[in-house]
Each structure stands twice: as structure tokens, then as C-alpha cells.
């Protein structure tokens, strides 16, 4: 797309020195002994420039990953390895209180919710962790991570109010003990800790920011053994909790989502959306801490009825990264964390109402960010370079280009961009700059080409540089006696004052030149660099900053390189391919290599005259056989027996509380009818009203809350009254249904089934939006005294005493089949009807429950993602006259999708290996709720596979289920 765009937006440049540069660089450098800033331990320290680990400066380049959105612990290493393969050395994680403490006082972190396997996997991959346990997390999780029982806490959430303090204590104590053990001081991967989340703005009705609250929370964490530095993440740089305030964290940081969440317009970069005042604010707010971006936009969430994550991925694409991430490096950011490189699923109702089952986030697992991360990891001089002001016309010959210099003691860096940052023009310019960038003893005096990485092997240095298509670049190396082309042609050589100068036009053919005896410069175009990987040969669990250049390999491959080992002359690589792939060790890596393996298989290799080693890995396309779901035999049972006259709800909870414990909401009904009052917080709710008719009843008004896109249906006895089909933007609905003639003296029951899309978040302390109830919040029975109706309610069986310990507190809703546990594998189905499945449908409004099972025998040694795809010939036409129905998809007991036919946008529901048994039997259940009188029929349901990846991680999955 848009060549001009690609060509001109930004380059991180290394060019000839302009003597004014130092004058531009703001405050003079102060040197502070890092240990002074480490009162509790001396492993993780910091000064105004960067973090230190064991006294060594590091660039933290990381991204957020939620293990609870991928409930297969054996896959966490896979994600860590992929993040690490990008050149990242860190991951931040939230923990979601609501998944750990469904019932107040009973914390549990077991099975898929256990943290130890997550910490182990991070360590194994050599990834540092930032712990962010909240208690409030936001994160597009139901309640922003707050468990439903907080609806009954009377005071302000996220304040020092006593009952909030009381309610949060058990979670804080339990999760902190787990995290404390995983700190680096105990040999674990956790190096930083974030109390709270985006504590940035609050309601006028409370003290905000409340120093007592933050200090109290930090003290709790400290008392429980957290010794690593505390960080914070204000939503924008407003200085809350910065050093010098009443409740300072150790390292102040902020978040930023500069393009917002406008996935509907994937190419819209609003004017002036690029931040330009951050360095100044930082020098005012926190000059003695490193520049830290805790959450920098790496994608976007997408609401019900939204545009789909492909559009989010397009909005936050490689061009966004090139321009915006580099702008962050222009302010000297040395703790940089992206939200998020891997999203996952809102399985089992864990999402907030503003999102659907996929939490794909348009996330990039491999991309442009790899180029920047690798560059920064081999550029230690960046960590102490002093960011200057944005300049135009100073380093360049045109005001159309803005240059931000970072001036170091010896090495300088320059970030360039279009002055009108969103310009699509091609702008030619000259730069006058000097870098003095060290590559293993050679001095790169300047380079307009970007550096991907460099390594030193013995006396040889290998540098990989790149540019955009057809760009002209120049690079000079000090004190060298000229260069020669060793591969490809078109590089011009000259020599001035003992400096060897290379000049070339970027093309897609690789050029390799030698400067002096031992410096090899590999010249690529940007597209080719994407298939290069830098991989460490140090033992498992080593961190990037442990590596010396010589222990890393630069590998040209394809899809992914995970790990490398060298022993007795053999290079052993693991990785993934999606096609027959030529693998090349750029620079040769090491002398005396005599064999080469990939995923354990020996390869025939060749070594060229400069020592680059090459081999071809054959891709063997496997046969993938998937069941045709429509020709399987299915079982069917009705899942709304509640409307039958014979049904007894005697065991249900009496909805008889006259006083709500949730004081946030005005009660308008004689007794409280919403779910949270009685411990029902997830999936769906059923409320039943019993009354004896007087014959005058004419209509029923229902006011129901469920969260965006929710729906509800109502019956009187077996007579269907109607439904609210749901619309993307409506969280609450009011409908009046006409009643049939009711016979005086006869008993009737109203049955209301309503969807629960999750609780709202609680972003603004003091507003307590999380307490917005779900369920029936108002009713009028025309012609009948409202107080004369006796109500019963249920949600998931047991409510807060939930049954489903494996899948946790949120996975089950209140539908009959779920209450019976029929979504779990192999329910007693012998009396159920045979069926053709959800495509056979149901013939009237209500809920049908369909089950089937099938075997999978997926080829071993491959990573082949599988998804359940619902046919929807009208997808994307949210709000139009499309048949209203919604399905829940259960796979081996895990709810892995809510599909809403009339809202969308999600039609394809990926289910990871480990939830699906790839080598055995799978049990699938689909609930089908028809919200129209005629019932509903699923247009089509298929199991389909995604890209076929031949993987090096197959051994690990032998015992996967
Ligand atoms: C910020 C939150 O801290 C994070 O949890 C997540 O919700 C993220 O946004 C959006 O995906 S909140 C900020 C956008 C106001």
C-alpha cells in the first residue's frame, strides 16, 4: 500500500554531527549511583536514564500478555518464545481478581488459573515480567477485574473506604504472596510491580488523587514482600503519583493510545495526534526516573457490532509503529511496553460488555516492532543519550522534516519524521549529522540506513542495515581502508579522510560488502529484514542483556525461529515454517560449524566463501482431516423447561430483598430483582414472577439491564410475550408487552431470560459504574399491584458458590442446560432427541441445547489453529432486520464464544489446542436462544483450520489436552 507513505514517514537515523546539537539537549547529565534508588534490594535499580539489572543497564522492551485469555498453560511458553523472538525482553501481565475470588473470602489460583507455570515459562524463555495485579485492572475484563460481589460493597471502590479495603484484602494478600515468590530477588522473572491501574482521574465527590489510598495500597504490597520497584501508569502524563507527590511510586510512567480505538477508519491519522510535549512534561514531572511507557498502543479493542479486528490491525499497522514508536524513542523511552502483542479470547464470559469473545486486539506478534526492538537491544548508547528538542531545518535542508536528536557522550541518534506527521508526501532531504556508533570495535561514523542488528564473531563484525524501497543511503566507517563488494553489486565506495563511505540505492536484492578486513555489512530492504531473526545460543532462561554479541545468531529464515544451541560444532535451531524455507546463518556465526539441525532434523548445508551457512528445510504439507459438523449426529434437549407449567422453581433464590445492598442504583421495584444482589454475576439470568391474576392485567413493562448488546425474552406461563433482540449500543432496555387475557383467580408465572454481558469497568474512582446492576431493574404489571408479585431468581448454579471449579467462576450462565452441567463433556444424553444440530434450529422463541462429539487426529509436528465458524450471510449489518438469535459455543466444557447473529461482528471463534483435544475426542455443545416468535436456525456451523505451520514446539504438546 501507499509507497509514498512507506517511504517518507520516519527513519531512525544515524548521521554527521552538527555542533549545535549539544546546546539543544536540555538539562546537563547527572550521574546518580543507581543503588541509591533501591532501598529494598539491589538487583533492580534505576537512575534517570534506564533500569539496571544486577548493575547493568537494560532497555526494557516488552508487551502485555494475559494468560487468563489463553487458558492452556502449556501454550504460554509458545507465546513467550514468540514475543522474545521479536527482540523483546519483557512481558507485563494483569491478574483478574474476578477469576480468582468468585466468592468473597475464597481465593483460588489453580489449574488454568495458576501462576507458577506462567512464571516458569517466562523464565524459560528469558523474559522479564512486570506484575500488574490491580486490584483494579480495567483490561476489558468484566468489572475491570472486579468480582461481582463488589456490587454489594456500599462505599466507593478504589478508595480508602473501609468496606472496599475489607473486600479487597483477601485478594491482595493471596495474589501478592504468589507474585512475591516470583520476584527476581527469589530467582523469578518479576522485576517491576504496578499497584492499581491508570489511577489518573477521579470523580469530584471523592478525594482524588488520594494519597492515603495509594500509600495504603503500596504499604500492603510491601508488607506482603514486594521488594522490586513500584511503577504506575497514568492514562496520560498528568503527574499523578510521580516522585515528589504525596504518594510517589518509584518509577513514574504513563500510557498512550494516540490513535484511539477508531477501527472503523483504519487509515485515519488525525492531525496533531503525534505527541510532541512528552519530554518537557517528563522533565517537570519526574526528571530522575527513566522514561517509561507502560501501555503504548499496540492494537485496539473492538465493541459488539464493531468493525472486526482486521481493521484494528490495519489502523495500528507497521506504519503506525514506525512513526509512533520511534517518536517514543525520540523522548528517550527506555522502558517501553506495548499493549498488546498477543490478545487471546474472552472465553467463559470474562469480557466486559464493550467487547465480544475475541480479544484479538489487532495484535502483532511479528512485525515492524521486531526491527526496532532488535536495534535498541544492540545500541546500549541509546540508554544514556539525552533527548533534545524537535527541530526542523536544523539538521536537514527542509522544514518539512522534523529531527529529534538524542545526544550521547559519544554516540548520537536522530529520529526523523515528516513535520506534518501524517503527510503522505515523498520528501527528499539531506541530513548533517554524526553518530559514532560502535559495532564491535568498528566506528560507524554515520549511517542514513537503519541498523537491524550487529554481532561480533571472533575478529569479524557483521552488521545488518536496511532502508525503504529505492531510498538512497550512505554509511561511513572511520579509519578503514576501503570496501569491496562480496555479494551483489551497485554499492559505490569512496574514501574521505580515512573513512570508507558506502552509498547505494535500496533494492530487494541483498548486497554484502566488506570494509577493511573484518567488517561485513549486509544491506537489505525493509521487507527482507522481516524474515530475519536474532536468536541467542545461551542456555535456556538467559536474558537478552546477558548475551554478548557473539552468542547470538542472525538467522534468515521464514515464519519463526524460536531457539538456538551450539554444541560440538552443531547449530541446533528450533522454529516454525509455513513453506519450504531456506535458512541461512548470516555472518556464519561461528567457525568450525560442521552440522546444522532444524527441529531436530539434520540438514545438508553449504558454506559460502565468506562463511555464511545455508540449508533448506522442506515443508511437508500434512493431510488435515476435520469433521463436517453438519453430518455428525447431534443430540438435542430443550433448555427452557422453566416456562412449562410443570416446572418448579422452589429451589431458586427468593428475590425478596426489600433493601438493596447495592446503594449505587435506585431501587424502583418492591424487592431487588437484579442478579448481583443474590450472587449471580455471569452469563445469563432468569427471573420468575408469580402472581394470581385478577383478570384486569393488560400489559407488562420490563426494564432490564444487561450491558451492551444484551438481549432478553419474556413469557407468561408458556405464552411468549416478546424479546429485546439487542443492539450494539444499548445496555438497558424498556419494553411494554401486551398480555394475553389472564383468567381471574388463576396462577401465572412470568419468566424473563436476560443476557449478562459482563459488568462495566470502574475506570473513574468515585463513579462506581461497576455497580450498575444486571437483570430486571423495573417492571409494571398494568392492572395489578406490583407488590403482589413474588419473585425468584437464578443465574449460574450456586451463584458465588459456583460449581465449575475447573473453568472458574464466570464460565457458566443461568440457562437450564448450564445449571445441569450439560455443557461439560459427556452429560447423560440417552433420553435426548436425535438431531441434525443447531442448523436444524428451534421452531419457537426459547432455548435449544445441542451436543455432539467427534475425534480429531491432527498431524503431529504442526501448529494448525482451528476455529468454529458460524455462517452469517448478513454479517456486519448491525441493527438491521436480521433474525435475532444468540449462541454459546462450549468446547470440552469451556465457553469459547458468544455468537450474536443480529449484532456481530464475530463469526469465527478460534479454540486453542489444549482446549480442543487434537488427538482424541471432543465434546461440543451449542446453546441456541431464539429471540423471535418463529424461533431460530443457525445458518451454518463449520470447523475450519487456519494456516498450517510446521512447528518446532511439537514435543512440548505430546501430553496436551
Ligand atoms: C487502558 C487500560 O489500562 C487497559 O487495562 C486497557 O483497558 C486499555 O486501556 C485499553 O485496551 S485504559 C485507557 C485507554 C483509558
Residue 413 lies in a domain: no
The yes-or-no verdict on residue 726 having pLDDT over 80 is yes
Helix (H, G, I), strand (E, B) or coil at 490: coil
Q: Is the CB of 257 under 6 A from ligand 1?
A: yes
Helix (H, G, I), strand (E, B) or coil at 820: helix
Q: What is the CATH number of the domain that holds 274?
A: 3.20.20.80
**663 and 563 part of one domain:** no
Return d(Cα 208, Cα 214) in angstroms, integer: 10
Question: What is residue 6's predicted lDDT score, i.e. its pLDDT?
Answer: 26
Q: Is the CB of 210 under 6 A from ligand 1?
A: no
**791 and 725 part of one domain:** yes
Domain that holds residue 585: 433-576+580-617
Return d(Cα 919, Cα 328) in angstroms, integer: 46
Q: Is the CB of 139 under 6 A from ligand 1?
A: yes
Identify which of 92, 198, 344 to mutate to test ligand 1's pocket (most ligand atoms within 8 A of the CB): 198
Question: What is residue 209's predicted lDDT score, i.e. its pLDDT?
Answer: 98
**907 and 762 part of one domain:** no
The yes-or-no verdict on residue 932 having pLDDT over 70 is yes
**673 and 721 part of one domain:** yes
Question: What is residue 32's predicted lDDT score, i.e. its pLDDT?
Answer: 40
Residue 389 lies in a domain: no
Mean pLDDT, range 296-303, rounded to an integer: 96
pLDDT band at 953 (very low <50, low <70, confident <90, very high): low
In sign, the C-alpha dihedral spanning 672, 676, 679, 682 is positive
Residue 410 lies in a domain: no
> Each residue of 431-470: pLDDT tens digit?
888 899 999 999 999 999 999 999 998 889 999 999 999 9
Q: What is the CATH number of the domain that holds 869?
A: 2.60.120.260
Q: Which of 34-48, 532-546, 742-756 has the lowest mean pLDDT?
A: 34-48
**377 and 448 part of one domain:** no
**What percent of the chain stands above pLDDT 70?**
94
**567 and 586 part of one domain:** yes
Question: What is residue 661's predicted lDDT score, i.e. its pLDDT?
Answer: 95
Question: What is residue 8's predicted lDDT score, i.e. its pLDDT?
Answer: 28
**572 and 457 part of one domain:** yes
Q: Is the CB of 197 under 6 A from ligand 1?
A: yes
**596 and 712 part of one domain:** no
Task: Please state whether the peptide bond connecting residue 296 to the residue before it is cis, i.e. omega within 30 degrees of 0.
Answer: no
Mean pLDDT, range 770-783, rounded to an integer: 98
Q: Which of 323, 355, 384 is the last residue of a domain?
A: 384
Nine cell digits for residue 289: 526516573
Question: What is residue 593's predicted lDDT score, i.e. its pLDDT?
Answer: 82
> Each residue of 68-77: pLDDT tens digit?
999 999 999 9
pLDDT band at 880 (very low <50, low <70, confident <90, very high): low
**Max intra-chain CA distance, the chain:** 108
The conformation of residue 810, written as its DSSP 8-state character, comes to T
Question: What is residue 747's predicted lDDT score, i.e. its pLDDT?
Answer: 98
**904 and 855 part of one domain:** yes
Residue 608 lies in a domain: yes
pLDDT band at 548 (very low <50, low <70, confident <90, very high): confident
Residue 623 lies in a domain: no
**589 and 658 part of one domain:** no
Q: Which of 787, 806, 825 is the last residue of a domain?
A: 806
> Each residue of 173-201: pLDDT tens digit?
999 999 999 999 999 999 999 999 999 99
704, 754 contact by CB (below 8 A): yes
Question: What is residue 634's predicted lDDT score, i.e. its pLDDT?
Answer: 98
> Each residue of 32-64: pLDDT tens digit?
444 445 568 999 999 999 999 999 999 999 999
> Each residue of 627-675: pLDDT tens digit?
999 999 999 999 999 999 999 999 999 999 999 999 999 999 999 999 9
601, 595 contact by CB (below 8 A): no
The yes-or-no verdict on residue 878 having pLDDT over 80 is no
Question: What is residue 906's predicted lDDT score, i.e. its pLDDT?
Answer: 97
> Each residue of 787-811: pLDDT tens digit?
999 999 999 999 999 998 999 999 9
Question: What is residue 366's predicted lDDT score, i.e. its pLDDT?
Answer: 66
Return d(Cα 242, Cα 247) in angstroms, integer: 8
Identify which of 64, 201, 255 to mutate to test ligand 1's pocket (most ligand atoms within 8 A of the CB): 255
Q: Which of 754, 782, 806 is the last residue of a domain?
A: 806
Question: What is residue 250's predicted lDDT score, i.e. its pLDDT?
Answer: 96
Q: Is the CB of 140 under 6 A from ligand 1?
A: yes
The conformation of residue 267, written as its DSSP 8-state character, comes to T
**664 and 711 part of one domain:** yes
Residue 729 lies in a domain: yes
Of ligand 1's listed atoms, the one at least distance from the Cα of 139 is 5
Mean pLDDT, range 670-681, rounded to an integer: 98
Tell me the CA–centroid distance for residue 300 and ligand 1, in Å. 9
Q: Is the CB of 235 under 6 A from ligand 1?
A: yes
Residue 15 lies in a domain: no
**What percent of the chain stands above pLDDT 90?**
88
Residues in the chain: 961
pLDDT band at 874 (very low <50, low <70, confident <90, very high): low
**138 and 232 part of one domain:** yes
Tell me the CA–centroid distance for residue 139 and ligand 1, in Å. 6
Q: What is the CATH number of the domain that holds 440?
A: 2.60.390.10
> Each residue of 393-427: pLDDT tens digit?
999 999 999 999 999 999 999 999 999 999 999 99
> Each residue of 321-371: pLDDT tens digit?
999 999 999 999 999 999 999 999 999 999 999 999 999 999 876 678 999
Identify the CA nearest to 545 among candidates 56, 124, 129, 85: 56
Tell me the CA–centroid distance for residue 270 and ligand 1, in Å. 20
Return d(Cα 556, Cα 529) in angstroms, integer: 8
pLDDT band at 594 (very low <50, low <70, confident <90, very high): confident
Tell me the CA–centroid distance for residue 138 and ligand 1, in Å. 6
Residue 763 lies in a domain: yes
Q: How many domains does the chain have?
A: 4
Tell me the CA–centroid distance for residue 353 and ligand 1, in Å. 14
Identify the CA nearest to 910 among candidates 937, 889, 884: 889
Question: What is residue 875's predicted lDDT score, i.e. its pLDDT?
Answer: 47
Amino acid at each position: 500500500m501507499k509507497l509514498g507513505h512507506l517511504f517518507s514517514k520516519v527513519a531512525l537515523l544515524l548521521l554527521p554531527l552538527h555542533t549545535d546539537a549539544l546546546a539543544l539537549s536540555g538539562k546537563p547529565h547527572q550521574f546518580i549511583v543507581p543503588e541509591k534508588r533501591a532501598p529494598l534490594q539491589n538487583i533492580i535499580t534505576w537512575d534517570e536514564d534506564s533500569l539496571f539489572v544486577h548493575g547493568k543497564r537494560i532497555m526494557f522492551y516488552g508487551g502485555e500478555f494475559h494468560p487468563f485469555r489463553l487458558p492452556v498453560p502449556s501454550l504460554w511458553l509458545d507465546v513467550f518464545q514468540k514475543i522474545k523472538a521479536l527482540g523483546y525482553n519483557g512481558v507485563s501481565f494483569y491478574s483478574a481478581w474476578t477469576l480468582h475470588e468468585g466468592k468473597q473470602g475464597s481465593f483460588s489460583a489453580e489449574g488454568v488459573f495458576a501462576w507458577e507455570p506462567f512464571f516458569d515459562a517466562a523464565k524459560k524463555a528469558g523474559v522479564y515480567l512486570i506484575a500488574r495485579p490491580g486490584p483494579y485492572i480495567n483490561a476489558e475484563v468484566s468489572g475491570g477485574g472486579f468480582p461481582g460481589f463488589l456490587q454489594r460493597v456500599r462505599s466507593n471502590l478504589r478508595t480508602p473506604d473501609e468496606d472496599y479495603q475489607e473486600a479487597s484484602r483477601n485478594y491482595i494478600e493471596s495474589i501478592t504472596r504468589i507474585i512475591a515468590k516470583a520476584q527476581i530477588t527469589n530467582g523469578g522473572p518479576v522485576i517491576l510491580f504496578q499497584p492499581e491501574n491508570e489511577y489518573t482521574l477521579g470523580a469530584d465527590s471523592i478525594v482524588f488523587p488520594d494519597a492515603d489510598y495509594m500509600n495504603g495500597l503500596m504499604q500492603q504490597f510491601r508488607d506482603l514482600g514486594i521488594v522490586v520497584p513500584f511503577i504506575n501508569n497514568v492514562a496520560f502524563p498528568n503527574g499523578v503519583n510521580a516522585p515528589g507527590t504525596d504518594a510517589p511510586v518509584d518509577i513514574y510512567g504513563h500510557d498512550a493510545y494516540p490513535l484511539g480505538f477508531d477501527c472503523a477508519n483504519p487509515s485515519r491519522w488525525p492531525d496533531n495526534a503525534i505527541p510532541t510535549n512528552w519530554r518537557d512534561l517528563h522533565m517537570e514531572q519526574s526528571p530522575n526516573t527513566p522514561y517509561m511507557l507502560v501501555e503504548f498502543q499496540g492494537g485496539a479493542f473492538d465493541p459488539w457490532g464493531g468493525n472486526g479486528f482486521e481493521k484494528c490491525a490495519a489502523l495500528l499497522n507497521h506504519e503506525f509503529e514506525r512513526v509512533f514508536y520511534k517518536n517514543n524513542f525520540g523522548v528517550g523511552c527506555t522502558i517501553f511496553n506495548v499493549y498488546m502483542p498477543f490478545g487471546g479470547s474472552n472465553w467463559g464470559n470474562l469480557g466486559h460488555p464493550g467487547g465480544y469473545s475475541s480479544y484479538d486486539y489487532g495484535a502483532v506478534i511479528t512485525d515492524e516492532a521486531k526491527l526496532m526492538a532488535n536495534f535498541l537491544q544492540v545500541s546500549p548508547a541509546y540508554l544514556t543519550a539525552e533527548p533534545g528538542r524537535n527541530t526542523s531545518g536544523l539538521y536537514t535542508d527542509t522544514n518539512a522534516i522534523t529531527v529529534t536528536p538524542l545526544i550521547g557522550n559519544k554516540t548520537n541518534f536522530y529520529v526523523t519524521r515528516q513535520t506534518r506527521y501524517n503527510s503522505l508526501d515523498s520528501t527528499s532531504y539531506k541530513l548533517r549529522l554524526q553518530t559514532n556508533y560502535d559495532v564491535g570495535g568498528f566506528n560507524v561514523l554515520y549511517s542514513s540506513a537503519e541498523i537491524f542488528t550487529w554481532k561480533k564473531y571472533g575478529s569479524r563484525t557483521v552488521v545488518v542495515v536496511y532502508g525503504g524501497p529505492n531510498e538512497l543511503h550512505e554509511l561511513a566507517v572511520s579509519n578503514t581502508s576501503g570496501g569491496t563488494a562480496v555479494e551483489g553489486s551497485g554499492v559505490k565506495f569512496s574514501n574521505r579522510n580515512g573513512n570508507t563511505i558506502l552509498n547505494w540505492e535500496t533494492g530487494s536484492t541483498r548486497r554484502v560488502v566488506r570494509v577493511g578486513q573484518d567488517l561485513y555489512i549486509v544491506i537489505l530492504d525493509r521487507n527482507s529484514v522481516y524474515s530475519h531473526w536474532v536468536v541467542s545460543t545461551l542456555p535456556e532462561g538467559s536474558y537478552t542483556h546477558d548475551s554478548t554479541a557473539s552468542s547470538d545468531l542472525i538467522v534468515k529464515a521464514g515464519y519463526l525461529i524460536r531457539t538456538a544451541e551450539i554444541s560440538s560444532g552443531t547449530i541446533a535451531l528450533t522454529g516454525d515454517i509455513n513453506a519450504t524455507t531456506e535458512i541461512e546463518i548470516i555472518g556464519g556465526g561461528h567457525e568450525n560449524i560442521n552440522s546444522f539441525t532444524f527441529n531436530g532434523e539434520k540438514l545438508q548445508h553449504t558454506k559460502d566463501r565468506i562463511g555464511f551457512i545455508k540449508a533448506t528445510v522442506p515443508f511437508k504439507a500434512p493431510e488435515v482431516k476435520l469433521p463436517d459438523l453438519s453430518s455428525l449426529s447431534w443430540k438435542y434437549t430443550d433448555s427452557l423447561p422453566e416456562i412449562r407449567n410443570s416446572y418448579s422453581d422452589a429451589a431458586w433464590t427468593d428475590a425478596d430483598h426489600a433493601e438493596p445492598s447495592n446503594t449505587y442504583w435506585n431501587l424502583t421495584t418492591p424487592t431487588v430483582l437484579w442478579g448481583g444482589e443474590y450472587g449471580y454475576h455471569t452469563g445469563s439470568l432468569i427471573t420468575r414472577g408469580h402472581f394470581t391474576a385478577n383478570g384486569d392485567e393488560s400489559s407488562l413493562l420490563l426494564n432490564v439491564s444487561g450491558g451492551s448488546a444484551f438481549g432478553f425474552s419474556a413469557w407468561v406461563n408458556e405464552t411468549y410475550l416478546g424479546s429485546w433482540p439487542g443492539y450494539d449500543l444499548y445496555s438497558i432496555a424498556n419494553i411494554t408487552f401486551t398480555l394475553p387475557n389472564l383468567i381471574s383467580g388463576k396462577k401465572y408465572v412470568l419468566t424473563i431470560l436476560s443476557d449478562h454481558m459482563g459488568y462495566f469497568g470502574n475506570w473513574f474512582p468515585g463513579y462506581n459504574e461497576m455497580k450498575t446492576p444486571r437483570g430486571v431493574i423495573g417492571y409494571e404489571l398494568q392492572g395489578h399491584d406490583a407488590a403482589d408479585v413474588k419473585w425468584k431468581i437464578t443465574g449460574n448454579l450456586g451463584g458465588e458458590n459456583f460449581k465449575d471449579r475447573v473453568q472458574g467462576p464466570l464460565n457458566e450462565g443461568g440457562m437450564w442446560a448450564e445449571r445441569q452441567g450439560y455443557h461439560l463433556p459427556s452429560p447423560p444424553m440417552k433420553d435426548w432427541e436425535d438431531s441434525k444440530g443447531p442448523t436444524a434450529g428451534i421452531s419457537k422463541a426459547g432455548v435449544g441445547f445441542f451436543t455432539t462429539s467427534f475425534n480429531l487426529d491432527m498431524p503431529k509436528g504442526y501448529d494448525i489453529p482451528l476455529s468454529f465458524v458460524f455462517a452469517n450471510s448478513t454479517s456486519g449489518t448491525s441493527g438491521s432486520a436480521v433474525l435475532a438469535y444468540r449462541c454459546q459455543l462450549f468446547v470440552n466444557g469451556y465457553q469459547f464464544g458468544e455468537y450474536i447473529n443480529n449484532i456481530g461482528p464475530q463469526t469465527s471463534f478460534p479454540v486453542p489446542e489444549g482446549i480442543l483435544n487434537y488427538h482424541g475426542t471432543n465434546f461440543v455443545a451449542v446453546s441456541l436462544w431464539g429471540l423471535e416468535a418463529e424461533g431460530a436456525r443457525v445458518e451454518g456451523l463449520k470447523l475450519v483450520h487456519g494456516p498450517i505451520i510446521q512447528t518446532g514446539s511439537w514435543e512440548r504438546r505430546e501430553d496436551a489436552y
